[in-house]
Chains A and B, each alone.
Chain A
Amino acid sequence: MLLELEDVSFTYMERTPLAQTALRNISVSIQEGEFIGLIGPTGSGKSTLIQHFNGLLIPTQGKVFVEDKEVGVEIKPAEARQKIGLVFQFPENQLFEESVFGDVAFGPRNLGCSEEEIEVRVKKSLEFVGLDYDSFKNRSPFSLSGGEMRRVAIAGVLAMEPKMLVLDEPTSGLDSQGREEILSRLEHLHHTESLTIVLVSHDMDEVAHLADRLIVLNEGHILFDDEPRRIFSQAQKLREIGLDIPRVTSLFMSLIDRGMKVPFSLFEVEQAADVILDLFGEMVR
């Protein structure tokens, strides 16, 4: 197993009057090659949870295993961080070098890679995120568009050659083109490199489209952990906790309520058009 959390609980400022429990008895396993969407309302513990994946936070109770080795006991947090790459929210705020190359090279340089190895990794990482090495390597990160800056930040994490990439709302604040660029690169990485990906998102359409498994977090515990189409059949429960369902699913559920024979497990607009045309076929000229 690539990652395993065993009965993990976490309390901020434990044993003080301000103690706040953020995670309660979380048990979850993630296998190599999965694409997981992690959703939950604000304050449900998503960011706290992913910081446990690579030893940035140590659980108050329970254990975390990376490749079957317990973090902090059999594997050092620093080593776990290399295997599980975390991309925080607004990662472009953490760019600081004068050139794109310098920024992406920062991680592998800290790992002690040789200059040749660093160059190979930077080149590969920039290509993974769809930025041409030669035209971008010498540019200042601060001269780039929002979407480009964010992709440089993601490349910086990829250059550590992690087994798993965890991204905390990587499309937040981007326009539709920037969003599209990031998501299609993630999809590509998953398919061609079989990179394991955990995507934290508030956009139900986004996770419905990409993930093959969804974990729903609410008030610090796991509410659902299942295939997207099964989770999105729980529309009422999701709305109760402040989430939503994909818009096409919502359309089809309304049609079902009105007695039409359509499936609800559809997420793509093209598929939706097919089903509707089948249903109303006789009306097409």
Chain B
Amino acid sequence: MIRITGLSFVYNPGREDEILALNDINLAVKEGEFVVVLGRNGSGKSTLARHFNGLLLPTAGEVSVDGLSTKDPQDLWKIRQLVGMVFQNPDNQIVATVVEEDVAFGPENLGAPPVEIRKRVDEALSAVHMSEYARYEPHLLSGGQKQRVAIAGILAMKSKYLVLDEPTSQLDPRGRREVMETLRNLNVKEGVTVVHITHFVEEAIYAERVIVMDKGRVALDGAPRAALGDVERVKSLGITPPLMTILAHHLTKRGLKVPQDILDVEEMVRALCSLS
């Protein structure tokens, strides 16, 4: 479990441009959860993400991973092995010139024996469906494939928690779908805990829990339907609800009885077909 208690974080403390980025956050992410974090630019999403593995340390409050506090310098490496991060730009995260060597980078640094490394790399690449690209040069891959290699690198470290900061923002529709399907697979089949930060509200469909950040606080926290179905509330937090949710809202306002918490096209088709 990742437990966050009374977390506040201030950028540039004591200076004129001091900013309170996180304001008394209390949150727990349980093992096996798939959480999507939404929020407008500057709401504190990325700052929060960087606290999960101690890339940033709290100004006040505490973050602990499986009972280890990020405040304890001697536990930081252990925490960073438990909590892996994937960032926006796929090109900034790949260090090696061959895919499998890139995936091996983490376990090599952990000092795993060669036989173990081979096994981990093969398993990790298979889990993200990239085994056939093991000997490829990363620059020949598409953006979605590169992000899947970055995710494999974290799996090879045997991380339990995967924190992703807008991993799909630079991808084409197929790349986005690939990454989201991969995350769902890892969550369901491998039991990896996923915290996925995104601007694409539609990606909340993959989650069992949605957190909306606003002004450094948690403004909404619940199941996607409950959290996103309240169109006006979601809009007031700077988030455009899923297009089909907006359509459902329009239709209901004009007297047609469809569920208010429709999230995607498939659900809308089903709802309309059940009317006729």
A: which residues have CB within 8 A of B?
40-43, 89, 143, 145-147, 169, 172-178, 180, 202, 204-205, 242-244, 247-248, 250-251, 254-255, 258, 260, 269-270, 272-273, 276-277, 280, 283-285
Confirm or deny: B103 has a beta carbon within 8 angstroms of a beta carbon on chain A.
Answer: no
Q: Which of B174, B251, B269 contacts A242 (CB 8 A)?
A: B174
Q: How many whole Å from A172's CB to the nearest CB in chain B? A: 6
Q: How many whole Å from A103's CB to the nearest CB in chain B? A: 19
B251 pairs with A145, CB closer than 8 A: no
Distance between Cα atoms of A242 and B255 in the complex (Å):
38
Confirm or deny: B272 has a beta carbon within 8 angstroms of a beta carbon on chain A.
Answer: yes
A272 pairs with B247, CB closer than 8 A: yes
Q: What chain B residues lie within 8 Å of A145 (beta carbons)?
A: 41-42
Residue of B nearest to A39 (CB): B172
Known: A175-B40, A243-B173. 5 other contacts (CB 8 A): A42-B175, A204-B173, A247-B244, A273-B254, A277-B256
**Given A251-B268, A255-B269, A269-B247: A173 touches B173 (CB 8 Å cut-off):** no
12 contacts between A and B (CB under 8 A): A41-B142, A41-B174, A42-B143, A42-B171, A89-B170, A146-B42, A175-B199, A248-B247, A251-B244, A255-B272, A269-B243, A276-B247
From A41, A147, A176, A277, residue with most partner B Cβ within 10 Å: A176
**Given A251-B268, A251-B269, A270-B250: A175 touches B173 (CB 8 Å cut-off):** no
B173 pairs with A242, CB closer than 8 A: yes
Distance between Cα atoms of A43 and B144 in the complex (Å):
11
Residue of B nearest to A204 (CB): B173
Confirm or deny: B265 has a beta carbon within 8 angstroms of a beta carbon on chain A.
Answer: yes
| 8 A-B pairs with the lowest CB-CB distances in the bound complex, closest first | A242-B174, A284-B255, A176-B240, A273-B250, A244-B173, A175-B40, A254-B269, A146-B41
A258 pairs with B269, CB closer than 8 A: yes
Distance between Cα atoms of A25 and B88 in the complex (Å):
33
Q: How many whole Å from A95's CB to the nearest CB in chain B? A: 16
Distance between Cα atoms of A242 and B201 in the complex (Å):
20
Distance between Cα atoms of A131 and B55 in the complex (Å):
35
Confirm or deny: B2 has a beta carbon within 8 angstroms of a beta carbon on chain A.
Answer: no
**Given A173-B199, A251-B269, A284-B256: A277 touches B251 (CB 8 Å cut-off):** yes
A276 pairs with B251, CB closer than 8 A: yes
Q: How many whole Å from B208's CB to the nearest CB in chain A? A: 23
**Given A173-B88, A174-B41: A243 touches B174 (CB 8 Å cut-off):** yes
Within residues 208 to 265 of chain B, which ones have a CB less than 8 A from any CB in chain A?
238-240, 243-244, 246-247, 250-251, 254-257, 265
Distance between Cα atoms of A248 and B246 in the complex (Å):
11
Distance between Cα atoms of A273 and B254 in the complex (Å):
9
Residue of B nearest to A284 (CB): B255
Q: What chain B residues lie within 8 Å of A285 (beta carbons)?
A: 255
Q: Which of A172, A273, A284 contacts B170 (CB 8 A)?
A: A172
B255 pairs with A247, CB closer than 8 A: no
Q: How many whole Å from A116's CB to the nearest CB in chain B? A: 33
